Structure 1
């Protein structure tokens, strides 16, 4: 088995497909929080923005995009194409301090599928993001639920187990997304709500036109899992070496035959006006 590292092009494509699938499960919405996209002069941050695909989709849904400021951040620059006018990008590690001038400045802060890397610093990292929201503004976070479906096949069960073990290796507690709502409430946010999206791949994705892309993007994600698993000291304990060596091929075949589920937990809330 190769080291299975993926190219920037592959990863950007995977994340774009992921965003499309999430939007499908959100009934076509880019956000679940009741954020008013018709307002002018909005200031919006997308943390862990990859190549800015989600931001470009959001910009297209703004009533007055020319008056709005949209900023994407990520730990590395993966932009292989020019960002649309009105969207800027800045390298930012979520474990490092945010620009002081950004605190209490954003009408909306959006962050998706990145907190595993925060390891044991979950609350600290989330609180730093919450500080960026201006009074009256909204935050929306999304992270994996960390559970497989009861009817998922053995290779998919192994995928979820490996993802959870990698998270624990990084210091993130298993099921850490279940703590997000409490972090927002403890910080005094209002109108806090949690929504769990079912998340499906292959035949478990109701939209048949998206199934093949969902499988291909999952396989790219699987390559990332293999590469990370090989860097884990002593190897992953939740899967035998023999199973690990054949896992990706078995998983792809299983996804095509029966699909797989990977629920996602969305938590949003509003900062008090004062």
Structure 2
């Protein structure tokens, strides 16, 4: 059932297209569980062999739910990690977390100088809508710097150019508006290819990529729920309305509701997008 969204959303920055508030926190928790299932119930696909005392960084952690689950998974195997979670905003940081998981406010493009060659493993996901080309280079250079030699970085992202969400008149208009907004903000549409090239330029080796196609619909195995995808595009409202919609927030909400109905009722496999994970090692 449709629930009227909060009219006032909190955004942590002008650059990042999505909000940082309770509504977004709930969406991120669902997204975490979904991506976990999509990649065969794995929190990580990196070929790592961590031991107690190793430091791990979750970059752009949001709620930190991945770090908490990763810590607990390793603790069950008697491996006690020291995990640092960073984000530009603390509004979504979890108050209840294990002793080995720490939170701090930092930008992915400007990590502390004292973290150089500190972490055995870095995990970062789904910040496609926070970075343009130059910011991606800064971010990946920072991740290279803070990794220990031999350490791995894992980046999970959405390939925006693969969005196929136009299955009716409302969703077709919505996709056009979203693509226009992404272009204005400098979001990279062919991100998998771009990141692979930048990682190599920075000095990473053993670069590899795994991708999964995700269907959008009412329900089903490995189907991203239409209602949650609608909540994602609701989060883009600030920039879509401001940057070219030529309409009101209420009209945007009507458009999202119409698109959600179309995704619910579309044929199987019709609405979809691609999510991918890139691994790379610091020599």
Normalised by the size of structure 2, how large is the TM-score?
A: 0.81
Unaligned runs of 5+ in 2: 11-20
Range moving further from structure 2, 172-181 or 102-111: 172-181
Which residue matches 1:118?
A: 131
1:184 corresponds to: 199
| CA distance in 2 between partners of 1:157 and 1:57 (Å) | 37
Distance 2:48 2:176 in 1: 35
SS in 2 for 1:262: strand
Structure 1 residues 58 and 228, CA gap change in structure 2 (3 angstroms): same
Q: What are the residue-to-residue correspondences of 1:155-234 with 2, within 5 Å? A: 155-203=170-218, 205-207=220-222, 214-232=225-243
Task: Give the SS at the match of 1:81.
Answer: coil
> Separation in 1 of the partners of 2:106 and 2:165?
39
Partner residue in 2 for 1:46 = 58
In structure 1, the partner of 2:18 is none
RCO comparison, higher one (Cα < 8 Å, 6+): 1
Q: Distance in 1 between matches of 2:227 and 2:250?
A: 23
- CA–CA separation in structure 2 for the residues paired with 1:160 and 1:32: 31
Determine which of 102, 105, 108 is the counterpart of 1:91.
Answer: 105
- Output one character per residue of 1:54-92: Cα deviation in whole Å (capped at 9) or x when no partner: 1111112112343x2101111101125322221000111
Unaligned 5+ segments in structure 1 are none
Per the alignment, residue 25 of structure 1 pairs with 38
1:72-83 counterparts in 2 under 5 A?
Answer: 72-77=85-90, 78-83=92-97
For this pair of structures, how many residues does the alignment match? 262
**Contact persistence 1:147–1:160 (CA under 8 A):** no
Check the 8 A contact 2:161/2:189 in 1, yes or no: no
Listed one character per residue, the Cα deviations across residues 76-118 of structure 1 (whole Å, up to 9, x for unaligned) are 01125322221000111223x2101112211111111114322
The aligned residue for residue 254 of structure 1 is: 262
